[in-house]
Protein backbone atom coordinates (compact mmCIF):
# COMPACT_ATOMS: atom_id res chain seq x y z
CA UNK A 1 0.00 0.00 0.00
CA UNK A 2 1.29 3.43 -0.92
CA UNK A 3 0.99 6.85 0.66
CA UNK A 4 -1.91 8.75 -0.87
CA UNK A 5 -4.67 11.09 0.22
CA UNK A 6 -7.05 9.44 2.69
CA UNK A 7 -4.43 7.03 4.09
CA UNK A 8 -3.25 7.07 7.67
CA UNK A 9 0.54 6.91 7.79
CA UNK A 10 3.01 6.48 10.62
CA UNK A 11 6.57 7.63 10.13
CA UNK A 12 9.75 8.66 11.86
CA UNK A 13 11.33 11.90 10.74
CA UNK A 14 14.53 13.78 11.34
CA UNK A 15 14.44 17.47 10.50
CA UNK A 16 17.74 19.17 9.68
CA UNK A 17 18.82 22.68 8.83
CA UNK A 18 20.10 22.27 5.27
CA UNK A 19 22.74 24.97 5.62
CA UNK A 20 24.38 23.62 8.78
CA UNK A 21 23.28 19.98 8.85
CA UNK A 22 22.16 20.56 12.44
CA UNK A 23 19.33 18.31 13.62
CA UNK A 24 16.44 20.58 14.64
CA UNK A 25 14.14 17.82 15.81
CA UNK A 26 13.79 14.10 15.39
CA UNK A 27 10.94 11.78 16.27
CA UNK A 28 13.55 9.08 16.89
CA UNK A 29 15.15 11.11 19.66
CA UNK A 30 11.76 11.96 21.11
CA UNK A 31 10.73 8.34 20.79
CA UNK A 32 7.29 8.54 19.19
CA UNK A 33 6.74 8.33 15.45
CA UNK A 34 4.19 10.71 13.94
CA UNK A 35 0.83 9.41 12.72
CA UNK A 36 -1.14 11.62 10.36
CA UNK A 37 -4.05 11.46 7.97
CA UNK A 38 -2.74 12.31 4.50
CA UNK A 39 -4.65 15.34 3.26
CA UNK A 40 -5.55 16.44 6.80
CA UNK A 41 -3.30 19.54 6.83
CA UNK A 42 -1.25 18.25 9.74
CA UNK A 43 2.19 18.70 8.23
CA UNK A 44 3.75 21.08 5.68
CA UNK A 45 1.76 20.52 2.45
CA UNK A 46 4.87 20.29 0.24
CA UNK A 47 6.40 17.68 2.55
CA UNK A 48 3.22 15.63 2.36
CA UNK A 49 3.10 15.92 -1.45
CA UNK A 50 6.63 14.54 -1.68
CA UNK A 51 5.76 11.56 0.51
CA UNK A 52 3.00 10.44 -1.89
CA UNK A 53 3.81 7.04 -3.33
CA UNK A 54 6.13 5.93 -0.52
CA UNK A 55 5.68 2.37 0.69
CA UNK A 56 5.93 0.95 4.19
CA UNK A 57 9.58 0.51 5.20
CA UNK A 58 10.80 3.01 2.63
CA UNK A 59 13.17 5.84 3.53
CA UNK A 60 13.23 9.10 1.65
CA UNK A 61 15.16 12.34 2.07
CA UNK A 62 13.09 15.38 1.16
CA UNK A 63 14.57 18.85 0.72
CA UNK A 64 12.31 21.85 1.22
CA UNK A 65 13.30 25.41 0.40
CA UNK A 66 12.32 28.12 2.87
CA UNK A 67 9.40 29.07 0.58
CA UNK A 68 8.11 25.50 0.63
CA UNK A 69 8.53 25.14 4.37
CA UNK A 70 7.78 28.10 6.67
CA UNK A 71 8.32 31.00 4.29
CA UNK A 72 10.82 33.82 4.42
CA UNK A 73 11.47 35.91 7.46
CA UNK A 74 9.33 39.02 7.56
CA UNK A 75 10.91 42.05 9.24
CA UNK A 76 7.45 43.45 9.94
CA UNK A 77 7.01 40.61 12.40
CA UNK A 78 9.71 42.04 14.64
CA UNK A 79 7.85 44.24 17.08
CA UNK A 80 8.41 46.25 20.21
CA UNK A 81 5.87 45.82 23.01
CA UNK A 82 5.63 47.40 26.46
CA UNK A 83 7.30 45.37 29.17
CA UNK A 84 4.15 45.20 31.33
CA UNK A 85 2.43 43.02 28.71
CA UNK A 86 4.56 40.13 29.97
CA UNK A 87 3.72 40.65 33.65
CA UNK A 88 6.37 39.31 36.02
CA UNK A 89 7.87 36.81 33.59
CA UNK A 90 11.61 36.48 33.69
CA UNK A 91 12.45 37.28 30.07
CA UNK A 92 15.74 36.19 28.55
CA UNK A 93 17.14 36.79 25.12
CA UNK A 94 16.43 33.89 22.79
CA UNK A 95 13.51 32.60 24.88
CA UNK A 96 10.65 31.13 22.86
CA UNK A 97 7.17 31.84 24.20
CA UNK A 98 3.82 30.62 23.01
CA UNK A 99 0.97 33.08 23.27
CA UNK A 100 -2.65 32.16 22.73
CA UNK A 101 -4.52 34.61 20.54
CA UNK A 102 -7.96 34.64 18.93
CA UNK A 103 -6.33 33.18 15.82
CA UNK A 104 -4.68 30.36 17.72
CA UNK A 105 -1.27 30.02 19.34
CA UNK A 106 1.61 32.19 18.14
CA UNK A 107 5.24 31.45 18.82
CA UNK A 108 7.53 34.34 19.49
CA UNK A 109 11.20 34.72 20.24
CA UNK A 110 12.38 37.35 22.71
CA UNK A 111 15.17 39.31 20.99
CA UNK A 112 15.80 41.70 23.85
CA UNK A 113 14.11 43.02 26.96
CA UNK A 114 14.67 45.91 29.33
CA UNK A 115 12.50 47.48 32.03
CA UNK A 116 10.42 49.46 29.54
CA UNK A 117 10.06 47.39 26.42
CA UNK A 118 10.54 44.00 24.85
CA UNK A 119 11.56 43.30 21.27
CA UNK A 120 9.84 40.20 19.96
CA UNK A 121 10.17 38.25 16.73
CA UNK A 122 6.92 36.65 15.57
CA UNK A 123 8.49 34.83 12.63
CA UNK A 124 8.29 31.05 12.85
CA UNK A 125 11.62 29.89 14.34
CA UNK A 126 12.28 27.98 11.10
CA UNK A 127 11.28 30.83 8.74
CA UNK A 128 13.96 31.58 6.16
CA UNK A 129 15.62 28.19 6.54
CA UNK A 130 15.98 25.53 3.88
CA UNK A 131 15.10 22.24 5.54
CA UNK A 132 15.87 18.59 5.00
CA UNK A 133 13.45 15.93 6.22
CA UNK A 134 14.67 12.35 6.50
CA UNK A 135 11.55 10.23 6.47
CA UNK A 136 11.24 6.57 7.40
CA UNK A 137 7.76 5.27 6.66
CA UNK A 138 6.64 2.68 9.19
CA UNK A 139 3.10 1.92 8.09
CA UNK A 140 0.29 2.90 5.72
CA UNK A 141 -3.35 1.97 6.20
CA UNK A 142 -6.74 3.08 4.97
CA UNK A 143 -8.40 5.71 7.13
CA UNK A 144 -11.70 4.78 8.72
CA UNK A 145 -14.79 6.75 7.67
CA UNK A 146 -14.77 8.40 11.09
CA UNK A 147 -11.15 9.49 10.69
CA UNK A 148 -11.88 10.93 7.27
CA UNK A 149 -14.83 12.82 8.71
CA UNK A 150 -12.74 14.24 11.58
CA UNK A 151 -9.71 14.95 9.44
CA UNK A 152 -7.20 13.28 11.77
CA UNK A 153 -6.23 9.75 12.86
CA UNK A 154 -7.56 8.27 16.07
CA UNK A 155 -5.26 6.50 18.47
CA UNK A 156 -5.97 2.90 19.31
CA UNK A 157 -8.70 2.80 21.92
CA UNK A 158 -9.56 6.48 21.59
CA UNK A 159 -13.32 7.00 21.66
CA UNK A 160 -15.30 10.03 20.62
CA UNK A 161 -18.84 10.52 21.83
pLDDT per residue as tens digits for the range 5-43: 999 999 999 999 999 999 999 999 878 999 999 999 899
Residue 152 predicted with pLDDT over 80? yes
Determine the Cα–Cα distance for residues 99 and 153; give it in Å rounded to an integer: 27
Instruction: Please state the domain count of the chain.
Output: 2
- pLDDT given at position 43: 93
Query: Per residue in 44-98, pLDDT tens?
Result: 999 999 999 999 999 999 999 999 999 999 999 999 999 999 998 899 999 999 8
Q: Which of 108, 8, 105, 19 is nearest to 48 (CA)?
A: 8
Range of the domain at 44: 7-70+127-150
Domain identity same for 38 and 25: yes
Q: Which of 30, 20, 69, 19 is nearest to 49 (CA)?
A: 69
CA 118, 122, 125, 131 dihedral sign is negative
- pLDDT given at position 154: 86
Q: Is residue 159 part of a domain?
A: no
End-to-end CA distance of the chain: 31
- pLDDT given at position 157: 53
Q: Environment class of residue 26 by beta-carbon count within 10 Å: exposed (0-12), middle (13-18) or buried (19+)? A: middle
Domain identity same for 132 and 99: no
Domain identity same for 87 and 54: no
Helix (H, G, I), strand (E, B) or coil at 63: strand
* Pairing outcome for strands 59-64 and 131-142: antiparallel
Helix (H, G, I), strand (E, B) or coil at 12: strand
Amino acid sequence: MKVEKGKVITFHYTLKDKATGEVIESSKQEGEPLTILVGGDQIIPTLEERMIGMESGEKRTIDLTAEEAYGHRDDNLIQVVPRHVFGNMDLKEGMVLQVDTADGPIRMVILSANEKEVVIDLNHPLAGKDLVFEIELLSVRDATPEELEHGHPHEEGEHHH
